[in-house]
Structure 1
Amino acid sequence: MATLKVLGAGPVKRGITQIAAEFAKASGHQVNVEFTGAPTVRERVFAGEVVDVAVVPAATMDEFAAAGCIAPATRAKLGHARMGLAMRKGAVAPDLSSTEAFRRAVEKADAVVANLANSGNYVAKLVGDLGFAADKVQRQPDAVKVMEQVASSPQQLLGAGQLPEIRELIDKGVAVELAGPLPDALQSVTAYDAAVAAASANAAAAAEFTAWLATPAARTAMAATGID
Structure 2
Amino acid sequence: MHPKIRLVAVVLALATALPVAGANAAEIKLMCPAPMRTTITALVEQFEHKSPHKVTIVHTPSKTIIERITAGESFDVSILTAEATDALVKQGKIARRADYARSSIGLGVRAGSPKPDVSSLEGVKRTLLAVKSFARNEGAESGKHMLAVFDRLGIADEMKAKTKAMPVGTGYVAELVVRGEADMAAQQMPELKAVAGIDASPLPKELQQIIVFSAGLSAKPGDPKAAQELVEFLTSAEAAPVLKSKGLDPP
TM-score w.r.t. the length of structure 2 is 0.78
Q: Deviations over 1:153-177 (max 9, x none)?
A: 355x32111222212222xxxx433
Residue identity matched to 1:147: A
Report the count of equivalent residues: 220
Residue identity matched to 2:93: C
Change in CA separation of 1:223 and 1:127 when aligned onto 2, cut-off 3 Å: same
Residue identity matched to 1:196: L
Structure 1 residue 36 displacement after superposition: 3.1
Structure 1 residue 71 displacement after superposition: 0.9
Please, which moves more after superposition, 143-152 or 183-192?
A: 143-152
Q: Deviations over 1:129-152 (max 9, x none)?
A: 323134554322248331111222
Distance 2:62 2:179 in 1: 25
Aligned match of 1:145: 172
- Among candidates 114, 132, 141, match of residue 92 of structure 1: 114
1:122-201 matches, cutoff 5 A? 122-131=145-154, 132-133=156-157, 134-140=160-166, 141-142=168-169, 144-155=171-182, 157-170=183-196, 175-178=197-200, 180-201=201-222
Structure 1 residue 47 displacement after superposition: 3.1
Change in CA separation of 1:104 and 1:2 when aligned onto 2, cut-off 3 Å: same
Distance 1:145 1:14 in 2: 12
Please, which moves more after superposition, 209-218 or 42-51?
A: 42-51
TM-score w.r.t. the length of structure 1 is 0.85
Contact 2:117 2:123 in 1 (8 A): yes
Contact 1:10 1:57 in 2 (8 A): no
1:17-166 matches, cutoff 5 A? 17-72=41-96, 75-115=97-137, 116-131=139-154, 132-133=156-157, 134-140=160-166, 141-142=168-169, 144-155=171-182, 157-166=183-192
Change in CA separation of 1:117 and 1:108 when aligned onto 2, cut-off 3 Å: same
Residue identity matched to 1:119: S
State, as a whole percentage, how many aligned pairs show the same letter. 29
1:102 alignment partner, SS class: helix
Structure 1 residue 2 displacement after superposition: 1.5
| Aligned: 1:7 with 2:31 | yes
RMSD: 2.3
Change in CA separation of 1:47 and 1:94 when aligned onto 2, cut-off 3 Å: same
Change in CA separation of 1:25 and 1:90 when aligned onto 2, cut-off 3 Å: closer
Contact 1:114 1:159 in 2 (8 A): yes
Aligned match of 2:4: none
Contact 1:39 1:117 in 2 (8 A): no
Distance 2:132 2:28 in 1: 44
Residue identity matched to 1:163: M
Larger radius of gyration: 2
Q: Tell me, which stretches of 5 or more residues in structure 2 are unaligned?
A: 1-24
1:71 alignment partner, SS class: strand
Q: Taking CA–CA contacts closer than 8 Å with sequence separation of 6 or more, which of the two structures ends up with the larger relative contact order?
A: 1
Distance 1:154 1:78 in 2: 34
Contact 1:89 1:177 in 2 (8 A): yes
Change in CA separation of 1:23 and 1:93 when aligned onto 2, cut-off 3 Å: closer
Distance 1:205 1:154 in 2: 44
Contact 2:34 2:169 in 1 (8 A): no
Residue identity matched to 1:159: A
